Amino acid sequence: MTAENRTEGMPGRPESFWIATAPRTYEPSLIKDARVDVAVIGGGVAGIMSAYYLKEAGLKVALLESRRILEGVTGHTTAKITALHGLIYDHLIAVFGRERARQYAEANQAAIEEVAALVDRLQIDCDFSRQPFHSFAETQEHLHKIEKETNAARTLGLPATFVDSIPLPLEVKGAVRLDNQAQFHPLKFLRAIAATIPDNGSYVFEETRALDIEDGEPCVVLTNQGKIKARDVVVATNYPFFDKSGLYFARLNQVRSYVYAIRTKEIYPGGMFAGVDKLSLAFRSQPTDAGDIVIVSGVEHKPGHAASTVSCYEDLAAAVNRIFHQPVLDYRWSTQDNVTIDKVPYIGKATPFSKRIMVATGFAQWGMTTSVVAAQILSNLIQGKPEDRAPVFDPNRFKLDSAVARELVSHNTTVLKDLVSGRLAKPDEDVTKIKPGEGKLAGRDGKKIAVYKDMEGRTYTLSPKCTHMGCIVAWNDAERSWDCPCHGTRFSHEGEVIHAPAVKDLPQA
Ligand SMILES: Cc1cc2nc3c(=O)[nH]c(=O)nc-3n(C[C@H](O)[C@H](O)[C@H](O)COP(=O)(O)OP(=O)(O)OC[C@H]3O[C@@H](n4cnc5c(N)ncnc54)[C@H](O)[C@@H]3O)c2cc1C
Ligand code: FES
């Protein structure tokens, strides 16, 4: 069976539940050069929240989005709003010390209250509800880590408790529980926030891709539609498209994972749950007019590194079918996020030399709170206000303890291997042998090309060299995209950039 046939046979509509159930936006593109106080690049949670606070502070803001806002990672999240970020606090105390770890915990806990306050103040109908959150272990090996995490969280002031079971049909060894966390429909919330931005000299420009930034006074953002001059610039493109001397490509890892929205015969007991074992299974519910659905996520890999992403969905579906009795799999989607070398996001000046260019990235699959923290910090820094949380998240911190240094070396060795092996690998196929539904690297006239043949037999041939730093892309059979194994850029089968850091499409070959 070809990959496309397997994709066609997969259960679930291939669309994010959030995108399918929130109204779309149709903001204009930039049509002539503009001047604002702050240009915010990237229309996900980090960019929208940053633009919101900056505008609230009286600044004129332009939010630039290369495609449509909220259709990137944020449109494909699972939106559990919590200060318990897997196994983080024991690690933070060891690497950063107790005081910085406490600031991290407080900042994230405060972000939950901030979201709650915004929902209340702006009367946003977004299914916000308070829920307990649990990080759970299914294996003895991880149980020990859960116990340590409970203690670490408690010493930092989070009222976490250890529990030896959770109310899901899953055998667990133990879990750390934190009450009064929250969940919402992320797009209903963020579309309401985004709607407050355009007006009074502030703008949202969709289908406007930033290509470069000239640092200066003012900075100039060069886009595919024109220029924007701004005193300050915030880069919130998930993976920073603008690097210069920031070396983000050397210190961010990407993790891609999979989601199903399902209906179950079992009544969902409430609560949010995230496993720390191999599959990283996570669960929450979401109210709909037809009753609650359950959002289940799990199965992780580096983008461009899975032999078959259809198999990743199949692995998640197998887990869902093992846990629930004859569930109905309604929607499926997948997305990716960045993890920094020391697991704490980079929020602040993009490089030690840039005066006016800020960055927010590395949310490690916890961006519902850390993006809010990022937006507050960046808004304060841009206004010249004191910000005592800034040192915790400073992108230019280089506290390389031996574990962090080892991680840095290992990450870059993998990237180098991907670059070299991709260039040296023989193409899989002769173009003529590629079957409908397949995407493969093929050889033509002694050159490697990326070929996709759709079910109608149309053939799309592209250069396989990623326009970011030249690694060779790999076919993603479930999403029908070309994904770069080095830093996670994704291109559609027609070559369009659909995920940063690259800004140039793959040329036709
Ligand atoms: C499977 C999964 C589940 C998750 N679940 C949770 C959860 O339960 N709780 C939680 O807290 N977090 C969760 N996260 C993490 C969270 O979703 C992310 O951290 C967050 O959405 C990232 O937001 P962002 O603004 O950085 O990125 P995005 O939402 O991707 O926004 C960046 C935007 O920038 C645009 N862009 C890119 N390049 C350019 C350019 N050159 N010019 C203009 N625009 C550009 C993109 O099109 C995109 O819209 C999850 C992540 C994953 C992968
Ligand atoms: S994303 Fe960096 S080389 Fe492709």
Burial of 308 per CB tally in 10 Å (0-12, 13-18, 19+): middle
Average pLDDT over residues 258-267: 97
Residue type, 466: C
Whole-structure pTM value: 0.96
Query: Which ligand is closest to the CA of 419, given by its number?
Result: 2
259 lines ligand 1 (CB under 6 A): yes
476-497 per-position pLDDT tens digit? 999 999 999 999 999 999 999 9
Mean pLDDT of the chain: 94
Q: Is 87 helix (H, G, I), strand (E, B) or coil?
A: coil
Q: Outline where 22-134 has alpha helix (H).
A: 45-56, 89-96, 98-121
**76 phi and psi, to 5 degrees?**
-125, 20
418-472 per-position pLDDT tens digit? 666 666 666 666 777 888 989 999 988 888 999 999 999 899 999 999 999 999 9
Strand ranges, E, within 184-292: 203-205, 210-214, 219-223, 227-235, 252-263, 272-275, 282-286
Pocket of ligand 2 (CB under 6 A): 249, 466, 468-471, 484, 486-489, 501-502
pLDDT(398) > 80: no
Q: How far apart, in whole angstroms, are the C-alpha atoms of residue 180 and residue 185?
A: 17
**457 phi and psi, to 5 degrees?**
90, 0
Structural domains in the chain?
Answer: 423-499 (2.102.10.10)
Task: Note whether 477 and 306 are within 8 A (CB).
Answer: no
From atom 1 of ligand 2, which residue's Cα is the shortest distance away? 487
For ligand 2, the distance from its centroid to the CA atom of residue 248, given in whole angstroms, is 12
CA angle 112, 114, 119 (to 5 degrees): 100
Please report the pLDDT score of residue 411 as a whole number. Answer: 66
Burial of 217-245, coded b for 16+ CB within 10 Å and e otherwise, reads: ebbbbebebebbbbbbbbbbbbbbbbbee
Average pLDDT over residues 169-187: 97
Q: How far apart, in whole angstroms, are the C-alpha atoms of residue 95 and residue 87?
A: 13
281 lines ligand 1 (CB under 6 A): no
337 lines ligand 1 (CB under 6 A): yes
**Cis peptide bond N-terminal to 501, omega within 30:** yes
Write out the two tokens for 75: 């449109």
192-237 per-position pLDDT tens digit? 999 999 999 999 999 999 999 999 999 999 999 999 999 999 999 9
